[in-house]
Chains A and B, each alone.
Chain A
Amino acid sequence: EDKVVQSPLSLVVHEGDTVTLNCSYEVTNFRSLLWYKQEKKAPTFLFMLTSSGIEKKSGRLSSILDKKELFSILNITATQTGDSAVYLCAVNAGGTSYGKLTFGQGTILTVHP
């Protein structure tokens, strides 16, 4: 059974801090790993990673994948209160799981002013 585990489950920081969110996975036929940000409603797509060691970057957010050790990290630098959200990691696996995403439980990030 495909499995995705995120850590920490929750994190409280102050504006300006840097945070690192972790995602480890066990799947039979890995295709890609995705990060989403979920505030009140829809998960919003952040990154999709398919290759090891290639950093994806968007503003203050960046992410990297290690396919040998089966994990990914999401970094947020100079955090702002608007970064407060649940961050979800998901894996798209092939084989019989083709097409569906398996999600982790999420990391709840709270950024205080």
Chain B
Amino acid sequence: GAGVSQTPSNKVTEKGKYVELRCDPISGHTALYWYRQSLGQGPEFLIYFQGTGAADDSGLPNDRFFAVRPEGSVSTLKIQRTERGDSAVYLCASSSGTGNQPQHFGDGTRLSIL
């Protein structure tokens, strides 16, 4: 596609449930990033993929969060046993490589945990 696509755009679920957020990067982009943005704050880094492998997952807050990118394109961010504090906008970005290339963002998934 022309840009980074994220689905769903909104997700409302109850505390304790499992959620999956999907990101489809710009075609041909090998690097993919997940960020989390809380109201009034800048995005915070979660995890970065180069190809299929997670090159840096230092931003994942705890072991309830996990992300995969099995074929080096689409990525899924998975959150188990959701908590109210997980409510935020989850942004995905992609770039054309590991060199100094700008990251391009999707519209995000707004996750609300009731």
* Segment among B13-21, B68-76, B79-87, B105-113 that sits at the interface with chain A: B105-113
Please report the C-alpha to C-alpha distance between residue A100 and residue B46 in the assembled complex, in whole angstroms: 9
The interface on chain A, measured as residues whose beta carbon lies within 8 A of the other chain's beta carbons, has a size of 26
For residue B91, CB closer than 8 A to chain A, the reply is yes
B48 with A88: CB separation less than 8 A: no
Q: How large is the interface on B (under 10, 10 to 19, 20 to 34, 35 or more residues)?
A: 20 to 34
9 additional A-B pairs beyond A43-B105, A88-B42, A99-B56, beta carbons within 8 Å, are: A31-B100, A36-B105, A42-B4, A45-B104, A98-B55, A98-B98, A99-B50, A99-B98, A106-B42
Residues on A with C-beta less than 8 A from B100 are 31-32, 48, 50, 92
Please report the C-alpha to C-alpha distance between residue A33 and residue B107 in the assembled complex, in whole angstroms: 22
Q: How would residues 38 to 55 of chain A score, 1 for a CB under 8 Å from any chain B CB and 0 otherwise? A: 000111110010100000
Contact of B91 (CB < 8 Å), options: A42, A100, A104: A42
Interface of B is mostly: loop
Residues on B with C-beta less than 8 A from A44 are 105
Q: How would residues 3 to 35 of chain A score, 1 for a CB under 8 Å from any chain B CB and 0 otherwise? A: 010000000000000000000000000011010
Contact of B48 (CB < 8 Å), options: A34, A42, A100, A104: A100
A83-113 interface (Cβ within 8 A of B): 88, 90, 92, 96-106
Can you pick out 11 interface pairs between chain A and chain B where the beta carbons lie within 8 Å of each other?
Answer: A34-B102, A42-B4, A42-B91, A48-B100, A50-B100, A90-B43, A98-B98, A99-B33, A100-B45, A101-B45, A105-B41
B26-59 interface (Cβ within 8 A of A): 31, 33, 35, 40-45, 48, 50, 55-56, 58-59
